[in-house]
Amino acid sequence: MKLHHIFGAACVLGGTLALSSCEKYDELFPAQYHCVLNIKDAGIRNIELYTTEAEGTVSISVMKTGSKGDVPANGTITPMSEAIFQEYCNTNELKYAYLPAEYYTLQNNEMQFSSQERYKPVNTVLKTREILQLQESHNGQAYALPLLLRSSEVSVNDSLLIIVPQIKAPTIGLANSGFTHAISFSSKGEAKQAYTLELTLPIPNIWGLKCSLACNEEAVAAFNKYNSQNGNRYKQLPSNAYTLPENGIVTFGNEATTASVDIAINRASLEMGEYILPLSIASPTVEGVEINAAQKTVLLGVTYSPDKLELKASQFKANSIAEGDGTGYAGLVDGLGSGLHFHSNWSAPVKDATYGNYIDVTLSAPVQSIKLDYWTRFENGNAAPTHIKLFASTNGTEWKELGHIASGLPTGGNQQYSSPIYRAEQPFSHFRFAVLESAAGSMTNGSAWFNLGELVLYGN
């Protein structure tokens, strides 16, 4: 319809009206505009529905307008035939498939307008879960329901509505999934700490939704896989070391999109070491709510670390040290902001087939558990350690190996490495940090050297 043709005709007829008072106002408009039915918001309508409801209702408003809109009228909404719809899709380059009749019902689609009525609602009830299964069985194909408005008495305009249901399953997930370091204990700090874990939901909860959070078989399997990938450095947190409120039942509040759980962890049940508490979401209480597989499990890291040792340059002794490059032993303990470093001898590399280039530390008091942090040289990682062995001794002469690290070491500039916690069979007063290989090459054959930006030890 071109409106300027109508308005033009109205102007011409307006002149006639001025000449003849017998003309009626309705005669200014063609007969097809006297009474018109149309679908409000016709065209393609994307409808988002959720599997929490077995059925979803789409309301359609049919309007009665026109210069004689105050007369009775009838109308019917019916599905377009599949063949015609496919032809329509091909012509308009639409990728929809035709939604079969068993997946929906039409309510009140036979309409009788009284003279006073100007609109009527028609409801389309879609079977949400069945439609989702249909889509999934056809590789995510989008389906559409094309509806036509017809009338045997009056004109019809905007007569095609294409309903495209987009069925979604609300998914519960963890705000932080996978491994995340949650809590650090030391022997001098607080014995009890809590970690807040947050669960998310993409839409407001209107169903009284609950789920469980548990250290179940799936969570343990995820822990075992992660631990294996990281040299089995972790232990699973024992059940008597933590408490889940409400026995792990998580409740989403009304209209809430998040729920939080405060997990209490008690150091008293732990030996020094590195632990993981694996937890997975399970058992949503509302049908149609699913669990996001990628955000289902969290591995909460819990460290009970030895206390930091206050070290001085006088406690170090190395079998290889570079004069005039860095600041020697002081470079290991002068702070991260100094930009200074320790460097083993690069001008005359020292060969030691067993220990490579090493740094010995005479401890102020014996310890039985020890861990270390170190930082690579601040400027670059050209001589960063790539193969390390750690040793303990009671007399500084006879050494027993504590640990062997040949992977996962940083090779860039100013990067930190934190070791596992190592425990000796008996207390020791001497510690050896031995570098067998670095980014510069091998020290066991005397062809290379290493450097460090900082070295920190923890021991009890």
- Kindly report, residue by residue over 150-183, the tens digit of the pLDDT: 998 899 988 999 999 999 999 999 999 999 999 9
What pLDDT was estimated at residue 159?
A: 92
Q: How many domains does the chain fold into?
A: 4
Residue 76 sits in the same domain as residue 158: yes
pTM across the whole model: 0.72
Task: Print the domain residue range for 259.
Answer: 173-305
The upper half-sphere exposure of residue 225, i.e. CA atoms within 13 Å in the direction of its Cβ, equals 12
CATH of residue 73:
2.60.40.1740
Given 280, 305, 330, the domain boundary residue is: 305
Residue 214 sits in the same domain as residue 298: yes
**Nearest alpha-carbon partner for 172 in 282, 31, 302:** 282
- What are the phi and psi torsion angles at 338 (to 5°)? -75, -30
Residue 181 sits in the same domain as residue 133: no
∠ Cα 71 61 43 (to 5°): 115
Residue 318 sits in the same domain as residue 440: yes
Given 151, 168, 185, the domain boundary residue is: 168
Residue 450 sits in the same domain as residue 365: yes
**Nearest alpha-carbon partner for 385 in 415, 413, 411:** 411
Residue 39 sits in the same domain as residue 148: yes
Alpha helices per DSSP H over 20-127: 82-92
CA distance 123 to 110: 11
Residue 21 sits in the same domain as residue 96: no
Residue 289 sits in the same domain as residue 340: no
CA distance 169 to 209: 14
**Nearest alpha-carbon partner for 220 in 170, 282, 158:** 282
Instruction: Tell me if 246 sits within 8 A of 176, measured CB to CB.
Output: no
Residue 340 sits in the same domain as residue 447: yes
Given 305, 324, 348, the domain boundary residue is: 305
What pLDDT was estimated at residue 7?
A: 31
Residuewise pLDDT in 10s, the chain (460 residues): 333 333 333 333 333 334 344 445 455 556 666 899 999 999 999 999 999 999 999 999 999 998 877 899 999 999 999 999 999 999 999 999 999 999 999 999 999 999 999 999 999 999 999 999 999 999 999 999 999 999 988 999 889 999 999 999 999 999 999 999 999 998 888 999 999 999 999 999 999 999 999 999 999 999 999 999 998 999 999 999 999 999 999 999 999 999 999 999 999 999 999 999 999 999 999 999 999 999 999 999 999 999 999 999 999 999 999 988 888 999 999 888 777 899 999 999 999 999 999 999 999 999 999 999 999 999 999 999 999 999 999 999 999 999 999 999 999 999 999 999 999 999 999 999 999 999 999 999 999 999 999 999 999 9
**Nearest alpha-carbon partner for 417 in 460, 392, 387:** 387
Instruction: Tell me if 372 sits within 8 A of 456, measured CB to CB.
Output: yes
Residue 57 sits in the same domain as residue 118: yes
CA distance 417 to 380: 15
Residue 163 sits in the same domain as residue 177: no
CATH of residue 345:
2.60.120.260
Residue 294 sits in the same domain as residue 323: no
What pLDDT was estimated at residue 1?
A: 33
What DSSP designation does 85 have? Answer: H
Q: Are strands 454-459 and 307-308 parallel, antiparallel or unpaired?
A: antiparallel
What pLDDT was estimated at residue 16?
A: 37
What pLDDT was estimated at residue 189?
A: 82
CA distance 399 to 218: 42
Q: How many Cβ atoms sit within 10 Å of the Cβ of residue 287?
A: 11
For residue 377, what are its two tokens? Answer: 């040289």
What pLDDT was estimated at residue 156?
A: 92
What pLDDT was estimated at residue 338?
A: 74
What pLDDT was estimated at residue 5?
A: 34
User: Which whole-number Å values give the CA distances from 130 to 62, 153, 421, 440, in the listed order?
Assistant: 28, 37, 54, 63
What pLDDT was estimated at residue 28?
A: 56
